[in-house]
Structure 1
Amino acid sequence: MIGIVVRFDVRDREAAVAFDRLTAAVVGHIRAREPGTLVYATHSVDDDALARVFYEIYADDAALQAHEDAPHVREFHAAKEPLLARPPRVELIRPGPSAHGITTE
């Protein structure tokens, strides 16, 4: 398994509304078309109305690559760029030794 945590900071409230609309549309496509995407959870941040955090888990590297190559994801990335205040912060994560029931291989 492989995971990603992404933080997006949008420009303003208008951009946040547009970003949330784009997100709702792409999440539907991800759930319907990406069997290797095990978790795709999007979040707002309590203390920062202009921040969004995505938590993503993929079955393996191939599933992550299939996600990144999917037309709906590429369209999302292109459409969201003008809404952002800065580049997103992306962290690649893998299960560690304390992950219960998950191997680290």
Structure 2
Amino acid sequence: MPYGLVVRFTTRDAAAAAAFDQLAAETLEEIKAQEPGTLVYVNHVPVDEAVTRVFYELYEDRDAFLRHEEQPHVKRFLAEREQYLTHTEVTFLNEVAGKRPASSQER
């Protein structure tokens, strides 16, 4: 069963948001290359909230999420992100129904 999460990050300021985005982009490149079980991993900027980032992540199942968390690039992201943040809120999700692209590698 697919397993997801939404993470809301609040960065310190615009400079921290830019640095956080760079760290996230570097991490995403590794996720794309090395994590077939990560179906969706998207960083969003909410409208009118320039220092907020919302990640939506979807995995094949909970085991794929646990494998994701063990990757060196994810551990680096988790360690380095803290210097840019003032708040983090995580919501874990169990899928009931949905629609997604046939291939998560298209983006």
TM-score by length of 2: 0.88
3-state DSSP class of the match of 2:36? Answer: coil
3-state DSSP class of the match of 2:17? Answer: helix
In structure 1, C-alpha distance between the alignment counterparts of 2:6 and 2:32, rounded to whole Å: 18
**AA partner of residue 70 (structure 1):** Q
In structure 2, C-alpha distance between the alignment counterparts of 1:55 and 1:62, rounded to whole Å: 17
Shift of 1:49: 0.4
Count how many residue pairs are aligned between Structure 1 and Structure 2.
Answer: 98
In structure 1, C-alpha distance between the alignment counterparts of 2:39 and 2:49, rounded to whole Å: 27
* Alignment match, 1:43: 44
* Alignment match, 1:91: 91
Shift of 1:61: 1.2
In structure 2, C-alpha distance between the alignment counterparts of 1:28 and 1:76, rounded to whole Å: 12
Shift of the 24–100 alpha-carbon distance from structure 1 to 2, 3 Å rule, reads closer
> After the TM superposition, which residues 1-16 of structure 1 pair with which residues of structure 2 at under 5 Å, given as runs?
1-16=2-17
Q: 1:11-67 CA distances to partner (integer Å, 9 max, x unpaired)?
A: 011101100100110001001100100111111111110000000000011100010
Shift of 1:100: 4.9
* Structure ID, larger Rg: 1
Structure 1, unmatched stretches of 5+, are none
3-state DSSP class of the match of 1:75? Answer: helix
TM-score by length of 1: 0.89
**AA partner of residue 12 (structure 1):** D
Moved over 6 A (4+): none
3-state DSSP class of the match of 1:48? Answer: coil
